[in-house]
Structures are given as structure tokens and as C-alpha cells.
Amino acid sequence: MEHITAPELAAWIAAPDRATPLLLDVREPWEFDTCHLDAAHSMPMNSIPGRFTELDEEQAVVCICHHGARSMQVAAFLERQGFTKVINLSGGIHAWATQVDTTMPTY
């Protein structure tokens, strides 16, 4: 499994010559409502086993949670299902809020 830092992800998203990854936010709805990346797709962790077939196996998927533990579990699950372009956001949305967008609410 690959890991990416918040600044690395910000650079990737901003790069005009790179396809934007699917930003898969696996936190609970209340967490997503508190703060999230604009382009993030909300799919709570407990719904992944029943919904992962909605995802495109050919697209890069960056899994996001609060600090990176739940997203790492989801990334490992997706890899076991045959996904090959799965990346975990190290430090989660909290890292994004502290390292990239300091105006983002934290919890």
C-alpha cells in the first residue's frame, strides 16, 4: 500500500498534468459534515464492503479518515479486492488541516 502526505496530495490535486484521484473519505457522516476536501466522496468505512463495487478499479483512490488508521484499513481491504491504485493519506484530514489548509475546522 502506498502512503501520501497532505502536502504531496495537495500538489497532486493542483497538478494540471495529472489525473485527479478519487478522494474516498471513509469517516462518519458527522465527521464529513464537520470538514472535508471539496472533491471528496463520502463512503463511511462500515459501508465499504457493500459499496466498493461502485468504485472504478482503474482510478487512483486516496483513502481519507481523521488520522489515517481507518483509511489504512479500507485501503488494505480494497487491495484485497483487487484494486491496485490505492493510497492512504498519512495523518488523515487532520494533517490536511494542519499542513495544507489551516482554515479548515479540526475536531
35 tagged catalytic: no
Query: Which candidate in 9, 35, 63, 65 is catalytic?
Result: 65
Axis-axis angle for helices 92-99, 6-14 (nearest 10): 70
The C-alpha cell of 73 is what? 484499513
Which candidate, 63, 56, 23, places its Cα nearest to that of 41? 23
Q: Which residues are catalytic?
A: 65
